Amino acid sequence: MLSTLSLFATFTVVLVAIALYPLGSSLYRVGHLFHDVSDYGMENCQLVQATGLNSCEDMAIHYPSSLAFLSCRNMLQRSQQAAVGQDANTPVVETSTIYLYNLKTDTSHPLTLVGFDSELNTLGISVVDSSEKPGKLVVMLVNRSTKPGRVEIFEYQLPDPTQASTDQTLSNTLEHRETVHHSLLTHPNGLYAVSDQAFYVSNDCHYHSGLMQKLEMFTQRPWSNVVFRNEDGIIRQAARGLVFANGIVFNHDHSLAFIASSTTGTVGVYRVTPAGTLHLSETISLDFMPDNLTLDPVHGHIYVTGVVKFLEATKFLKAPSLDTTTKAGFKVARIVNNTASNRFLGVNFAYETVLVDSGKVLPLGSVAAVDPRSNKLYASSVVSPGVLVCQLPS
């Protein structure tokens, strides 16, 4: 009897070890479990703070107008949303707020949502010029206040480009146009707006709560996917077999999609077919856990932001405080065309470090975007006291 129990216990331990090996291997490579992280490129950075401008998980810049749209929220509520394995049934006490940030003046103000009176629990945000209404901007938001999730589509009136624009003349409203529900929006996270109607959205998990979601995450099951909504409003799966798909962005001509896989520490590069489906062509291995991705529209670089110390991030999200010494820090990297000799082996992309904050300024970082006009980088976090603004070297 004892030998049978011993054999069963051994068998169970082996199965658990096999199941957890992918996560353990990834954390060893990207989680910085056994060494400290040093600041890099922080010399010309400053923290911009304003009432309500905190815990902005994602941002989207409309470069022609130099206006950034940020999805922000109360720090405590945002941390509960961001916690690993957080049950989707956790009630939302305070709704998210969308902030408009003027890159020319480093000023911001909240936007009033017109025609929208539902709960808003945002993550990904994306903007695109309206082809149907010139002078209008389409603003899309992931809303995880319900399960399955949904995508909210708003319109923003851009300032007249022929007139001098000031903070006082900028619109302070977002007009709600549509709520997109679909069973394929299981647990939406990252979002990329293609047109007035079309978008891509990543589902980081197949299960939206409970034990199965925890099992999926901690054993790195490839059950995550990306969903595409076309111009006709038809929603279908564009890519599958991903592990915790997160941020998503496209290159300048929409021929390639870049998708972050947070827990594996990789960014997948996908070819885009005429039908909108995505086919993996290359995987970029990072030394940190990527979150959101943004595109520099002038140079074509992809900016990747993410956590560098996984265990510290987990501890911090359980009890967020700006006074704690438990800071996870973050890294910003830039994906560029590979110029090394291995490009002849099909390695088309490489990455280079742009910025590392050990947690002294922002405890975490989830997104960074660059304004090529001023060569400034703007970074914010799922839990943070403001927006980090850095002057990059010329």
Q: What are 315-352's pLDDT values in tens digits?
A: 888 877 766 666 789 999 999 999 999 998 899 999 99
Residue 99's nearest CA partner among 128, 71, 60 is 71
User: Please, which pLDDT band fits residue 80 given cuts at 50, 70 and 90?
Assistant: low
Instruction: Please give the CATH topology (third level) of the domain spanning 31-391.
Output: Neuraminidase (2.120.10)
Q: Give the model's pLDDT for residue 303.
A: 99
- Scan for tokens 């994602």, then name that residue: 58
pLDDT per position as a tens digit, 42-68: 999 999 998 888 899 999 999 999 999
Contact of 316 with 383, CB cutoff 8 Å: yes
Q: Give the model's pLDDT for residue 368.
A: 99
Please state, in angstroms and rounded to a whole number, the distance separating the CA atoms of residues 163 and 179: 33
Domain extents in the chain: 31-391
Q: Binding site residues for Ca(2+), as ranges?
A: 58, 125, 189, 246, 291-292
Q: Give the model's pLDDT for residue 312.
A: 87
Q: Binding site residues, as ranges?
A: 58, 125, 189, 246, 291-292
Helix, strand, or coil here: 169? helix
User: Backbone dihedral region of 300: left (phi > 0), alpha (psi from -120 to 50 degrees) or beta?
Assistant: left
Contact of 220 with 236, CB cutoff 8 Å: no
Q: Which of 5-14, 32-41, 248-257, 304-313 has the highest mean pLDDT?
A: 248-257
Centroid of chain to Cα 37: 22
Please tell me the pTM assigned to this model: 0.89
pLDDT per position as a tens digit, 132-151: 999 999 999 999 988 889 99
